[in-house]
Amino acid sequence: MNLSDPVMAAVIGAAATFVTAVIQLTANARRQAAERAAGKPVSRKSGSWLAIFALALAALVGGYALSEYQSYSLRGDDKVLRDEMQSRLRDISAAASRLERAGAEKNGQSEADARLAAERRRGAEGVAAIISVPPCRPAKAALAQAPAACAENEALRTTLCAVVPASATITEVQLFTRTEDSQQTWDETRVQVGQDAGAAKFVDAYIERAQGKESKEICQHFAHWNSQKGRSARILVKYTL
């Protein structure tokens, strides 16, 4: 047990004072007993009072020493407790950091999985592109009341493009076309490549072309040479990831 210098000095002083006071009280008590045995009047000297004062002083100093020791002991306990709390706080902080990183990684993974699932659903449903073209006007129209008809080689040509992920594998490209005043649904107007839909048709196979690093375009050519009505064309691109 380590004692500080002030506490050690107080203990030594209190012990010395206490021993001296006990010796004086013992000697005084023997002297008074001898005087009583000899029939002499008992003398009352100041030594006994000094001894009593010395005992009181020793008790005071001893109490101070005990108080100081307890104070130092408590301060030592406080330091141990403080160090323990700081160690626990560091452990809790480290655990919280690990949980935060794990949560962020889990959230990031969950978000990536959700995006992938949504993109797969989108691919199964298909990505659409629609375009409208006006009636065809021949280069040399005849002087007549009715609009002159266009030849196929005078057709209006355009291209429809749907944007899909760059990593997508195309499973199907569905083609649709109808006149601008048609009441039919798109499902009722599906056609095939090269099929004449009334002075209109999709030509050639679809093509793929890059559009940045994360997406690409799926494009289909369309020709329209009807001089009576305008026409709408639609493609629906389905894919997997």
Q: Residue 223 is which amino acid? A: A
For 29, the token pair is 């008590």
Residue 232 pLDDT = 95
Q: Exposure of 79 by Cβ count < 10 A (0-12 exposed, 13-18 middle, 19+ buried)?
A: exposed
Q: Exposure of 199 by Cβ count < 10 A (0-12 exposed, 13-18 middle, 19+ buried)?
A: buried
Question: What distance lies between CA 199 and its chain's CA centroid?
Answer: 59
Count the Cβ atoms, other than its own, within 10 Å of residue 20: 15
Whether 225 and 155 have beta carbons less than 8 Å apart is answered as: yes
CA distance to 110, 146, 186, per residue, from 229 (Å): 51, 13, 18
List residues bridging with 234 in a β-sheet.
Answer: 130, 176
Would you write out the chain's pLDDT as a tens digit for each of its 241 residues? 555 555 555 556 556 666 666 676 676 667 766 666 666 555 555 455 555 555 555 555 555 656 666 665 555 566 666 676 677 767 767 777 777 777 767 666 678 888 888 899 999 999 999 999 999 888 665 545 556 788 888 899 999 999 999 999 999 999 999 998 899 999 999 999 999 998 999 999 999 999 888 999 999 999 999 988 999 999 999 999 9
Q: Residue 25 is which amino acid? A: L
Residue 110 pLDDT = 78
Whether 219 and 161 have beta carbons less than 8 Å apart is answered as: yes
Whether 233 and 182 have beta carbons less than 8 Å apart is answered as: no
Residue 161 pLDDT = 95
3-state SS record for 78-147: HHHHHHHHHHHHHHHHHHHHHHHHHHHHHHHHHHHHHHHHHHHHHHHHCEEEEEEECCCCCCCCCCCCCC
DSSP 3-state of 226 = coil
Count the Cβ atoms, other than its own, within 10 Å of residue 234: 21
